[in-house]
Amino acid sequence: MKKHVILLKILKNVKLVLEKHSIDYWLDCGTLLGAIRDGQLIKWDTDIDIGCWKNKNDYLIKKILRKEFMTLGYNVYLTDYFINIHDPKYSNYNVDINFYSKYANWAITPSNCLMPYLKDPLPIFINHLIRFIYNNRLYLKKYHSMVKYFIKIYFSLIRYIFLILPSNWQDIFLDKLIILRQKLTDHKNEAVEKHYFWDLVQFNVFNGTYPIPKKYREYLTCRYGSNWETPIQKWDNAKQDNTVKHLSELEHIIEQTIIKE
């Protein structure tokens, strides 16, 4: 299929860039599922999912990666929890690098969970500010041009101040915005026990070798349920993915674990 040829070409280049910068990564979500179950990308998928850790100097690392991907001719979009990469000729076929934060014994990422919770003006504003800091671009389609003009001036001022801050202050500033967005929305996250991503093995697939969780069967069961080997085309991530949880749910699980110990 033509779309899979396009996607796998991007994946190969992403692999080269990540390994060049010694960044740990792994095949994740539906891409991992297709690799294990089918030995290829799931036939109806139009994207590839890669997992990475969100670490210190996250903003600077993502800027470096964006420059490398753009040099290869790709369009790149950044935000706090993922990098989206696609060929400008085929904007519907994307490789997404999802960044997981460490939270106690869990790896969490808003990934596909955030957008449905952005309903009130303030968290929407904060999310647009985060996106502007990363991309120096507004993503406002429904606003009047004059409103967008003033928002851009305001965001540009904040971004200018941000860019002259020391890198550790930049990380703190972004973390504060991310935490505030979480508190205002109480949005869900994809939450996976960290140990699945600590222990990786190399796996031959997609005409190459890629890292995957060593306990991939347990991980896929955790995420997709015991029937993960049965293809389901109509998949609702928010409702059917078992890893999607509120932070309050995780806190309860952590508390219960401590009590048992």
* Range from 103-107, 159-163, 253-257 that averages highest in pLDDT: 159-163
- Per residue in 178-191, pLDDT tens? 999 999 999 999 99
Between these two residues, 25 and 260, which has the higher pLDDT value? Answer: 25
Please say if the pLDDT value at position 235 is more than 80.
no
Look over the chain and give the mean of its residue pLDDT values, rounded to a whole number: 91
Token pair in block for residue 242 = 């078992």
| CA dihedral of 91, 40, 44, 16, whole degrees rounded to 10 | -20
Average pLDDT estimate for 125-135: 96
Q: Residue 186 and residue 208: Cα distance in Å, rounded? A: 40
Q: Residue 75 and residue 61: Cα distance in Å, rounded? A: 17
Burial of 194 (0-12, 13-18, 19+ CB in 10 A): middle
In the structure, what pLDDT confidence band is assigned to residue 254 with cuts at 50, 70 and 90?
A: low
Closest CA to 136 of 155, 122, 164, 121: 155
In the structure, what pLDDT confidence band is assigned to residue 234 with cuts at 50, 70 and 90?
A: confident
Q: Residue 18 and residue 27: Cα distance in Å, rounded? A: 13
Q: What is the pLDDT of residue 142?
A: 74
DSSP string, the chain: -HHHHHHHHHHHHHHHHHHHTT--EEE-HHHHHHHHHTSS--TT--EEEEEEE--TTHHHHHHHHHHHHHHTT-EEEE-SSEEEEE-TT-TTSEEEEEEEEEETTEEEE-GGGSGGG--SHHHHHHHHHHHHHHHS----SSS-HHHHHHHHHHHHHHHHHHHTS-HHHHHHHHHHHHHHHHHHH---EEEEETHHHHSEEEEEETTEEEEEETTHHHHHHHHH-TTTTS--SS--HHHH-TTEE-HHHHHHHHHHHHHH-
Please say if the pLDDT value at position 257 is more than 80.
no
- Per residue in 28-76, pLDDT tens? 999 999 999 999 999 999 999 999 999 878 899 999 999 999 999 999 9
105 within 8 A of 96, measured Cβ to Cβ: no
